[in-house]
Amino acid sequence: MKYDRVYNFSAGPSMLPVEVLESVRDNMLNYEGSGMSVMEMSHRSKVYEKIIGEAEANLRDLMGIPENYKVMFVQGGATLQFAMLPMNLMKNNVADYIVTGAWSNKAYAEAKKYGKINLIASSKDKNYSYIPDVSDLPISEDADYVYICENETIHGTTFRDLPNTKGKILVADQSSMFLSKPVNVADYGVIYGGVQKNVGPAGLSIVIMREDLITDQLPEYVPTYMSYKIHADNDSMYNTPNCWAIYVCGEVFKYLKKIGGLEEMNRRNEEKAKVLYDFLDASSMFNGTVEKQFRSLMNVPFVTESAELDAEVVAATKAAGFDNLKGHRSVGGLRASIYNAMPKEGVEALVDFLKDFEAKH
Ligand SMILES: *Cc1c(COP(=O)(O)O)cnc(C)c1O
């Protein structure tokens, strides 16, 4: 591969498009004639205002974000949002959580610090290898919101249909599927994600929130920084934002528009994931761990018959230039994260390698 890069199957931080990295490199020392790097410029400067303004406009365009939704660039990872969401959205102090894997479980545990949290569905009984039926759940009458992690990065599941929230607000962690396909923003009260899976460098979350949910009627204890109203009213500039990460995300948004937007991205992602899933379905050595209809297009966990053989495969792939394929300890085996920036050739090369490995064993 160009620049001696490896095919990096990391779950995050993960690959970025080479074209974006090249553009960032070319502008590193002197961003578009400003005489300085984006890392060195004031967030209040005209140049930077244009960077963040265009990033938001392009994101709105890509996702078709309606006028009555705010876009906020908030520092910290998605993990900070696990606390910030209940702090800001609770009015009755009640929320309903659907737990389908490690990330929704973490969000659920954190939310419990701030109110009465009901676990209304879970797929723990089969080690989170499927998505429960969410068409008719016992939604609490006084729930302030219903929470999901729409794509579970570790367990490799994804929602096919959104839950029927019976009129309650839906909040979705989309960290590991952000901008991988078109979504209908109006179906949600809040969509948020850490950007380091699919869109940019770590240390930034993008929060897309319906305006009427943003309030300053918050409990006394809520830190100023953790009020969405503060971020919304100040256009993500209440304090110094993560200027660099926002800039790189903005370059990724431009790139996605250039290739044809999220419809095209989704088409490529489906085509790419099919290569790997078709192989797993045909293989007698490697097996996917997720029920077919809930398989993620982004994170693909799979196992062999033993932990020893798993480890052997991981070592062999690494030696052959495929990096970060070791599965998370809670699932074991291997996991290939094949986000937007992973080229189809990367997945094809991996499948060729695994076929060969299987044939030799
Ligand atoms: C990675 C990840 C997180 C945590 O992100 P941080 O930026 O490390 O806090 C949360 N949710 C999902 C779905 C993730 O994939």
The CA 285 to ligand 1 mean position distance, Å, reads 31
If you measure from the C-alpha of residue 21 to the centroid of ligand 1, how many angstroms do you get, rounded to a whole number? 22
Q: With a cut of 70, which residues of the chain have pLDDT below it?
A: none
* pLDDT the model gives residue 1: 72
Question: Ligand 1: which residue has its CA nearest to atom 7?
Answer: 77
Q: Which of 14, 73, 75, 79 has the most ligand 1 atoms within 8 A of CB, as the residue to mutate?
A: 79
E-assigned strands of 150-284? 151-152, 157-158, 170-173, 190-194, 204-210
Q: What is the mean pLDDT of the chain?
A: 97
The Cα–Cα gap between 189 and 191 comes to 7
Q: Is the pTM of this model over 0.85?
A: yes
CA of 337 to the centre of ligand 1 (A): 14
Of 259, 250, 279, nearest to 340 (Cα)?
259
| pLDDT value for 21 | 98
Q: Atom of ligand 1 at shortest distance to CA of 154? A: 15
**Which residues are CB-neighbours of 272 under 8 A, at least 6 positions away?**
297, 338, 342, 343, 344, 347
> Which amino acid makes up residue 229?
K
**Residues with catalytic roles:** 103, 173, 197
Using an 8 Å Cβ cutoff, are 158 and 152 in contact?
yes
Phi/psi of residue 116, nearest 5 degrees: -90, 115
Q: Which helix (H) or strand (E) holds 149?
A: strand 146-149
Give distance in angstroms: CA of 56 to centre of ligand 1.
21
Ligand 1 environment, Cβ below 6 A = 12, 77-79, 103, 149, 153, 173, 175-176, 194, 197
Q: Which two tokens stand for residue 204?
A: 């930034």
